[in-house]
Amino acid sequence: MDRLSALDASFLYGETPESPMHVAGLAIFGPAPADTDIFAMFRDHLKSRLHLVPFFERKLALAPIQLDHPVWVHDDNLDLDYHFRHTSLPKPGTQEQLETLVARLHMILLDRARPLWQYYVIEGLEAGGFAVYIKMHHAGIDGGAGMAALPIIFSPSPEPERAPLPSPPAKDSRAPEIFELISDSYAKFFNQQRAFYESWPDLAKAIAKVGQRATQDLANPPRMLPLAPKTLFNVSLSSQRSFGTCTLSLRDAKAVAKLTKSKINDVVMTISAGALRRYLELRKGLPDGPLIAAVPVSLRKAGNADMNNQVTAMLCNLATDIADPIRRLEAIVASSTDSKKRLEDIRDVIPADLTWLGAPIIITGMARLMGQAKLAEQLPAIVNVLISNVPGPKEPLYCAGARMLNYFPVSIPSNGSVLNITVQSYQDNLDFGLIACRAAVPDIEKLVEFLIDEFDRLRRAAGGPEQAKARKIEIREAKSA
């Protein structure tokens, strides 16, 4: 029985009409070969490969009276007309029109009675290319799993190879009955207690490390991670979204990281922090204290491509109270290094799963209360923004014979932290996708402009060679390779 883990299920429980919990990607392609039926070709291509990604052919079966986490069951009757959609931009088909369409599509909840994914082929782009908007529920997939699936969804060559035939279906693919679900829940609950006691040696080591670090903190109190200040990002979500994109040169970002003895992730956070600082100054809402970012950290072992979530998060001081980009970068490096060490102390004892009888009802109720009672305005802020950096394909991908030019991530804003900045690498691109509550951030294009400027400013401050400036992608400049 394939029951969702506690982490996977939490994305279901936290979902409300104002807070959909799907993640997405926006793939932009150059022009397809003449007379190509792009939608039909992509649909047929992916239809022949659905069996290669288990997530595509499974749906949820709820536990009786919401006693435990749901289970995945095979869907024998996929309605492909629901999962594959086709649309076109009105003329002239600009990037801004595309971003507006994606923001609207990202507001729509997925149907939980079906497998939790949809694809939109979007034609009518200004230079004759097209885009594919990929929506998948976070309960079934994280960034690492999504990247593993990308070469299956698209193709590493203009002429894709024939997909292997699916294996014969399992003898027992029926949905589990009520008593099976209840029995499995109780068995898992008691096995969890046994595993907890067996983990005491590792837990004791983690407690000792945490205690040692706490003693060091008492002697030298850390000043790198103060409480998060309240900002215009720390409000309740509306159902409306704003979405913006830009692309930086990965080669240039690596050069900056080398010159400053930092990492790509530090560079991403530094330019994001600079953009946030300028945006809050523009809105007359820059706090005296530095903003705090939640930064996802993968727990996947090398080569693991399981279709589930294996991720935790650390907190990082964004040093938005520092105007100089190099000094800000140094402060971010110090903070992220400290946070990584603290996470490493407990990494091995972070529970991969947790059965909590009644969790579906309790956590779902808490999520709804958070939004309906506007608690984000009343409670102190824990973080101000989520910033994520996902490594992506180094080789080109294709769809309907056209080469992928960009892959912009579209992630999840949340109650109390209504801006999400996610970065996806693709070949020599760092493709930024910014998604936010439109009521709080109606002018997300300003943040995009500031990101571009801050990267150029950091590059010049680091003493790097003059190279191509970061750019806002324009559809009319896109060319097929």
Assign 3-state DSSP to the chain and report helix, strand, coil percentages, each to 5: 40, 20, 40
- Residue 172: how many CB atoms within 10 A of its CB? 6
Residue 85, burial from CB neighbour count under 10 angstroms (0-12, 13-18, 19+): middle
Tokens standing for residue 300:
């996947």
d(C-alpha 73, C-alpha 80), whole Å: 18
Helix (H), strand (E) at residue 239: none
**Res. 272 pLDDT band, cuts 50 70 90:** very high
Among the listed residues 22, 45, 69, 138, the single catalytic one is: 138
Q: What's the mean pLDDT in 360-370?
A: 72
Chain segment 23-80, per-residue pLDDT in tens: 999 999 999 999 999 999 999 999 999 999 888 999 998 876 666 788 899 998 899 9
Q: Which amino acid is at 424?
A: Q
Q: How far is CA 96 from CA 189, 435, 451, in A?
A: 50, 14, 17
Nearest to 153 by CA among 37, 7, 24: 24
Assess whether pLDDT exceeds 80 at residue 479: no
The answer to whether 58 and 74 have CB atoms below 8 angstroms apart is yes
**Least confident segment among 82-86, 104-108, 141-145, 270-274:** 141-145
The answer to whether 51 and 167 have CB atoms below 8 angstroms apart is yes
Assess whether pLDDT exceeds 90 at residue 207: no
Q: What's the mean pLDDT in 443-447?
A: 97
**pTM for this predicted structure:** 0.84
Backbone φ, ψ for residue 113 (5° rounding)? -80, -5
d(C-alpha 467, C-alpha 252), whole Å: 8
Q: Comparing 97 with 10, which gets the higher pLDDT? A: 97
Chain segment 304-340, per-residue pLDDT in tens: 556 566 667 789 999 999 999 999 999 999 999 888 7
User: Tell me, what's the pLDDT at 352?
Assistant: 53
131 DSSP β-pair partners:
28, 122
Q: How far is CA 28 from CA 46, 53, 122, 439, in A?
A: 17, 22, 9, 27
User: Tell me, what's the pLDDT at 367?
Assistant: 74
Tokens standing for residue 231:
């900002």
Tokens standing for residue 140:
């079934």
Q: Is the peptide bond before 156 cis (omega within 30 degrees of 0)?
A: no
d(C-alpha 456, C-alpha 319), whole Å: 18
Nearest to 119 by CA among 59, 44, 51, 52: 44
**Cross-sheet strand order for the sheet of 58-61:** 2-3, 71-74, 58-61
Nearest to 344 by CA among 310, 304, 314, 302: 314
d(C-alpha 216, C-alpha 219), whole Å: 5
Chain segment 371-407, per-residue pLDDT in tens: 778 888 888 899 999 999 999 999 999 999 999 999 9
User: Tell me, what's the pLDDT at 210?
Assistant: 45
Determine whether 86 is an active site residue. no
The answer to whether 247 and 470 have CB atoms below 8 angstroms apart is yes
Q: What is the homologous superfamily of the domain 221-352+375-394+409-477 according to CATH? A: Nonribosomal peptide synthetase, condensation domain (3.30.559.30)
